Amino acid sequence: MSENSSSIFIVDDDFSIRSSLTMLLESAGYNVECFSSATDFLESGDIHSKNTCIVLDVKMSGLDGLDLQKELTSIDCITPIIFISGHGDIPMSVQAMKDGAVNFLTKPFDDDQLLDAIKEALSMAREAHEKQSRINQIKQKIDKLTPREIEVLKHLIAGLLNKQIAFELNISERTVKAHRKQILDKMGIKSMAELVRLTEKIGFEPAI
């Protein structure tokens, strides 16, 4: 994927930093969008964009960088974050990394450090969106199952035999087999092993 298909969001309340980073990143072939506050970024509607990463200042007036990180996590935003700070300390950077930041750079930092961090972040962004797309596809298939098929599915992935499921749900074994076939057909798979793998990917809970 070419660099010019990727966008970098800069969130920093310092105009001079925004300007210098924009010049650097545009010269490297990236599209750049700047925001002077965390609130402006949240209201932009760009938070779930693909092939992007966020270059985020830690210390800002109003909502700071760490608070924005928490807010993005709470709304399931998977866009990678690179923190920059002139005030960063070890506890702050550790917390940022624990919460999922890709990197934490202290101003002044080398241009190549930032460019390398952005390449890593964009690679992570592509992987995260591909994974999310696969998860969404699985969920869409499960949404097509009937309530009874969902019940049978939960028992199937719990490892119960057809006759055990029939007993648990008070239906015939033939009915269980029919539901099982429908489930596999709707999920587009051929084996129980595949069914178990798909449901595990989305955290679908088996019957207790």
Q: Is the pLDDT of residue 150 over 80?
A: yes
pTM of the model as a whole: 0.73
Task: Name 131's Cβ contacts closer than 8 Å, sequence gap at least 6.
Answer: none
Strands 103-106 and 31-35: unpaired
Answer yes or no: is pLDDT of 4 > 80: no
Domain ranges (residues) in the chain: 3-133, 144-201
At 197, list the tokens.
Answer: 């793998």
Question: 105 by DSSP, 3-state: which?
Answer: strand
CATH class as words, domain 3-133: alpha beta
The per-residue pLDDT for range 17-36, each reduced to its tens digit, is: 999 999 999 999 999 999 99
d(C-alpha 17, C-alpha 1), whole Å: 27
The answer, yes or no, to whether the previous bond of 108 is cis (omega within 30 of 0) is yes
Alpha-carbon span 98 to 102, nearest angstrom = 10
CATH number for 144-201: choose from 3.90.580.10, 1.20.140.10, 3.40.640.10, 1.10.10.10. 1.10.10.10
Element (H, E) at 125: helix 111-143
The model's confidence at residue 44, banded by pLDDT at 50, 70 and 90, is confident
pLDDT score recorded for residue 60: 87
206 with 192: CB under 8 angstroms?
A: no
Name all contacts of 193-198 with Cβ < 8 Å and 24+ positions apart: 195/153, 195/156, 195/157, 196/157, 198/138
Residue 146 clears pLDDT 70, i.e. is over it: yes
